[in-house]
C-alpha cells in the first residue's frame, strides 16, 4: 500500500533563511581530506522533510563554532542516483519498476528466475538491521547472479526497447526542470546507478523524448554482439552499496540516437576538477558515490520513500536534507537556484 502523504515537519521559511541553511551546509560538508577536527558542538542540521504535495521547506540553526562559507559556487557538479531518486518510487498507487526490474528478456523461464532472486535479496537490501559490510557482499552476489541469467537467457537490445516501452516507470516531478536549469549553466550531472546503463539510456529516450548534453550515465554497461545479443558486462559490478566515482570509466553521455550499443569513454578531467558537489540519493549507500572525489564541499540530499519509521533517524543523520513520501524534485530545484543563481 502506498504510504499516506504527510505535511512538512518544518514550516516554510524565508529566502534569507534558505541562504543561511546553504552556508551552514557548506561549512559542515567539507571533504574529509580538508576538514579540521569538528568542534564539540551539534553537527547535524535540523531535518528537512517534504511530502509529495509540498514544496521545499527549510529551517536552520546557526552553529556559533562554524565558519560561514560562500554558497554561490557550490553546485559545480551534481551526482544523482537513478532508481527511486530521479524516478518515482510509486507508480499509479503501486511500487514502480526499477531499471533492473522492468526488464523482460522474452524468456519466461529466465524472467521467473530473476524474480526469484529479487524476492530473496530485496528484503535484505531494504533491511536497516543488517550491517553494511555483510549487506554489500550479498548485494554483489545478487547482481552477479542476475547478470549471469541475462547472458544465459539470451537478452537482446530489442527486448530492452520493448521492456522500456511497457514499463511502469516515470521520472519524479520536476526532474526535467532540474536538468534544464543545470544544462543552461553547463553543470555536469553524473547519473550513478546500480541498474543497467543501456536500460537507463533507453528510459531517457522514451520517457523524456530528449537528451541533455551535460548528463552522463555511470552504471553496469552491457556488451552486445553484432546480432544485438548480450555477451558480457564491462568492468566491475556496480550494486547499491558500491556506487562511486571510481566507475567513471563506464560513463557515457545520454544521446537521442542509440549509436554504439557498447558505449564509450570520454575525457572527464573537467568533471573531476569540479570539486563542489550536490549529491542526490535514496539509499544511505548512495553517499559513497562521491568516494574518490577530492571535493571541497558536498551537500547530500536524501529521498526516503519507504520504511520511513525505521529509517528516518539514520537518514536524518546521514543526509543534510531529507525528503519523504516520494516528494517532487521542486525542493532541489529551489536549492540549486540558490546555489547557482
**What is the CA angle 298-169-7, rounded to 5?**
60
Alpha helices in 153-286 (DSSP H): 157-165, 175-184, 197-203, 269-273
**What is the CA angle 153-159-160, rounded to 5?**
110
Full DSSP string of 296-324: SEEEEEEEE-S-HHHHHHHHHHH-SEEEE
181 domain-assigned: yes
216 domain-assigned: yes
Shortest CA distance to 101 belongs to which of 195, 31, 220, 212? Answer: 195
Shortest CA distance to 297 belongs to which of 101, 22, 46? Answer: 22
182 domain-assigned: yes
Q: Cβ distance 196 to 99 under 8 Å?
A: yes
151 domain-assigned: yes
Q: Cβ distance 283 to 242 under 8 Å?
A: no
Per the residue annotation, which of 72, 83, 266, 326 is the catalytic one?
Answer: 83
pLDDT of residue 272: 53
Number of domains comprising the chain? 1
326 domain-assigned: yes
pTM of the entire structure? Answer: 0.72
313 domain-assigned: yes
- For residue 190, how many C-alpha atoms fall within 13 Å in the half-sphere facing its CB? 30
Other residues' Cβ atoms within 10 Å of the Cβ of residue 198 = 28
E strand or H helix at 190, and its extent? strand 189-196
Domain containing residue 277 = 75-256+273-339
Per the residue annotation, which of 81, 282, 286, 320 is the catalytic one?
Answer: 81
CATH of the domain at 99: 3.40.50.1000
pLDDT by residue, tens only, the chain of 341 residues: 333 333 333 323 334 444 445 544 544 454 444 443 333 222 233 334 443 323 333 322 222 222 223 444 455 789 999 999 999 999 998 889 988 889 998 889 999 999 999 999 999 998 889 998 999 999 999 999 999 999 999 999 999 999 999 999 999 999 999 999 999 999 999 998 888 999 999 999 999 988 899 999 988 999 999 999 999 999 888 888 887 655 555 555 554 443 433 443 344 554 555 568 899 999 888 888 887 666 788 999 999 998 898 899 999 999 999 999 899 999 999 999 888 87
Q: Cβ distance 233 to 220 under 8 Å?
A: yes
143 domain-assigned: yes
Catalytic (active site) residue 83: yes
Catalytic (active site) residue 326: no
pLDDT of residue 181: 95
Amino acid at each position: 500500500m502506498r504510504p499516506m502523504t504527510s505535511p512538512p515537519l518544518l514550516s516554510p521559511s524565508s529566502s534569507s533563511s534558505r541562504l543561511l541553511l546553504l552556508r551552514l551546509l557548506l561549512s559542515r560538508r567539507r571533504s574529509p581530506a580538508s576538514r579540521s577536527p569538528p568542534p564539540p558542538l551539534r553537527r547535524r542540521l535540523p531535518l528537512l522533510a517534504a511530502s509529495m504535495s509540498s514544496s521545499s521547506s527549510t529551517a536552520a540553526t546557526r552553529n556559533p563554532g562554524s565558519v560561514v562559507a560562500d554558497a554561490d559556487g557550490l553546485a559545480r557538479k551534481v551526482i544523482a542516483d537513478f532508481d527511486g531518486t530521479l524516478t518515482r518510487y510509486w507508480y499509479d498507487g503501486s511500487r514502480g519498476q526499477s531499471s533492473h526490474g522492468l526488464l523482460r528478456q522474452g524468456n519466461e523461464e529466465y524472467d521467473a528466475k530473476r524474480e526469484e532472486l529479487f524476492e530473496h535479496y530485496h528484503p535484505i537490501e531494504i533491511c536497516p538491521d543488517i550491517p553494511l559490510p555483510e549487506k554489500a557482499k550479498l548485494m554483489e552476489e545478487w547482481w552477479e547472479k542476475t547478470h549471469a541469467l541475462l547472458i544465459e537467457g539470451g537478452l537482446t537490445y530489442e527486448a530492452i526497447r520493448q521492456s522500456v516501452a511497457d514499463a511502469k516507470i516515470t521520472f519524479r516531478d520536476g526532474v526535467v526542470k532540474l536538468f534544464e536549469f543545470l544544462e543552461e549553466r553547463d553543470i555536469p550531472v553524473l547519473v550513478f546507478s546500480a541498474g543497467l546503463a543501456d536500460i537507463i539510456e533507453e528510459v531517457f529516450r522514451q520517457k523524456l523524448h530528449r537528451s541533455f548534453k551535460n548528463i552522463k550515465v555511470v552504471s553496469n554497461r552491457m556488451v552486445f554482439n553484432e546480432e544485438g545479443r548480450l555477451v558480457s558486462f564491462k568492468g566491475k559490478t556496480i550494486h547499491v552499496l558500491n556506487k562511486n566515482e571510481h566507475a567513471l570509466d563506464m560513463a557515457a553521455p545520454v544521446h537521442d540516437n542509440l549509436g554504439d550499443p557498447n558505449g564509450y569513454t570520454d575525457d572527464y578531467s573537467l568533471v573531476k576538477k569540479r570539486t563542489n558537489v550536490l549529491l542526490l540519493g535514496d539509499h544511505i549507500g548512495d553517499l559513497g558515490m562521491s568516494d574518490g572525489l577530492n571535493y571541497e564541499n558536498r551537500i547530500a540530499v536524501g529521498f526516503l520513500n519507504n520504511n520511513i519509521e525505521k529509517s528516518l533517524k539514520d537518514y536524518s543523520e546521514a543526509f543534510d536534507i531529507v525528503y519523504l513520501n516520494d516528494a517532487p524534485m521542486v525542493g532541489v530545484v529551489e536549492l540549486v537556484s540558490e546555489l547557482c543563481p
